[in-house]
């Protein structure tokens, strides 16, 4: 173990698609186990971690069934998918020896705890890892926005978005080989340029609460710890 990390309390947002591994949809438990191991190392270094996981890996498999549904109904399906992901991840974290708790914005007391802000802060303060599930509990909001909301509510020092790319680019690097990666952008630049890697409402919420946002590739092994130590490759969104 080396010195302290840059941040005491973080909110880590993972896209649901990352949990698929090489599958078309669903949960690849080998990928989940790897991610849980990296998060466990961060927690053992003294960092308090809140986690929000999207539901795209499960909802992608339900997309056909969701066609023609009212948007609110489809969003509720997506929110339930995030609960499934959180429960799967909770098991992987507990296998690493961590005390992990799922708190859902949609009450389901026989499955997990309901989200209560004071309870979440207490869990974090006592070294428990908190998985925030169920989005915001309301339709029409993304899990990016839910992550920014929970980060603000629990006084996190930073919001990290672990995705499939190593930062924010001027265009989709998969489609445009000349796309430029930004080392740093302001909240205003992100919103005015309509950059797509994260929901604009989430960035606006982070801006209003002075929470820096770091976008990095969670598919790169060791990237999370590297960033918390002050290295790694990522894009910082701040004032």
Q: Is it the case that residue 98 has pLDDT exceeding 90?
A: yes
- 206 belongs to a structural domain: yes
- Regarding predicted confidence, which is higher, 147 or 171? 147
- 1 belongs to a structural domain: no
Phi, psi of 176 (to 5 degrees): -125, 100
Considering only 33-42, 57-66, 89-98, which range has the smallest mean pLDDT? 57-66
Q: What stretch of H or E contains 102?
A: strand 100-104
Q: Which residue has the tokens 């890697």?
A: 197
Contacts of 180 (CB under 8 A, 6+ apart): 169, 170
Domain with 84 in it: 9-238
- 113 belongs to a structural domain: yes
User: For the chain, how many structural domains are there in total?
Assistant: 1
Q: Is it the case that residue 179 has pLDDT exceeding 70?
A: yes
CATH of the domain at 20: 3.40.1160.10
pLDDT (0 to 100) of residue 66: 55
- 2 belongs to a structural domain: no
pLDDT (0 to 100) of residue 196: 83
Which DSSP string corresponds to 109-139? TTTSEEP-HHHHHHHHHTT-EEEEESTTSST
- 37 belongs to a structural domain: yes
Q: Which residue has the tokens 């790319």?
A: 165
Q: Which residue has the tokens 């992550």?
A: 147
- 104 belongs to a structural domain: yes
Q: Is it the case that residue 58 has pLDDT exceeding 90?
A: no
- Give the dihedral of Cα atoms 81, 86, 89, 93; nearest 10 deg: 180
pLDDT (0 to 100) of residue 106: 96
Residue among 55, 104, 53 nearest 75 (CA): 55
Phi, psi of 77 (to 5 degrees): -60, -45
Q: Is it the case that residue 164 has pLDDT exceeding 80?
A: yes
As a whole-number percent, the residues of the chain with pLDDT over 70 amount to 95
Considering only 37-51, 59-73, 99-113, 185-199, which range has the smallest mean pLDDT? 59-73
**Sign, CA torsion 14/15/16/21:** negative
- 63 belongs to a structural domain: yes
Give the CB-side neighbour count of residue 90, counting CA atoms within 13 A: 20
- 3 belongs to a structural domain: no
């Amino acid at each position: 173990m080396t010195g302290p990390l840059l941040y005491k309390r973080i909110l880590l947002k993972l896209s649901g698609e990352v949990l698929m591994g090489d599958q078309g949809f669903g949960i690849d438990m080998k990928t989940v186990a790897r991610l849980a191991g990296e998060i466990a190392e961060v927690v053992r270094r003294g960092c308090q971690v809140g986690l929000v996981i999207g539901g795209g890996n499960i909802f992608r498999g339900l997309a056909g069934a969701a066609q023609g549904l009212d948007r609110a109904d489809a969003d509720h399906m997506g929110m339930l998918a995030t609960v499934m992901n959180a429960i799967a991840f909770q098991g992987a974290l507990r296998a690493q020896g961590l005390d992990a708790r799922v708190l859902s914005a949609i009450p389901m007391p026989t499955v997990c705890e309901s989200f209560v802000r004071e309870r979440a802060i207490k869990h974090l303060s006592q070294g428990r890892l908190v998985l925030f599930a169920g989005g915001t509990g309301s339709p029409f909001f993304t899990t990016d926005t839910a992550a920014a909301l929970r980060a603000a509510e629990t006084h996190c020092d930073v919001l990290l978005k672990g995705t499939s790319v190593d930062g924010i680019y001027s265009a989709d690097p998969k489609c445009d080989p000349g796309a430029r990666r930004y080392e740093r952008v302001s909240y205003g630049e992100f919103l005015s340029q309509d950059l797509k890697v994260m929901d604009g409402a989430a960035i606006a919420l982070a801006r209003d609460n002075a929470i820096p946002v770091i976008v990095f590739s969670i598919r790169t092994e060791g990237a999370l710890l590297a960033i918390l130590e002050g290295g790694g490759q990522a894009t910082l969104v701040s004032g």
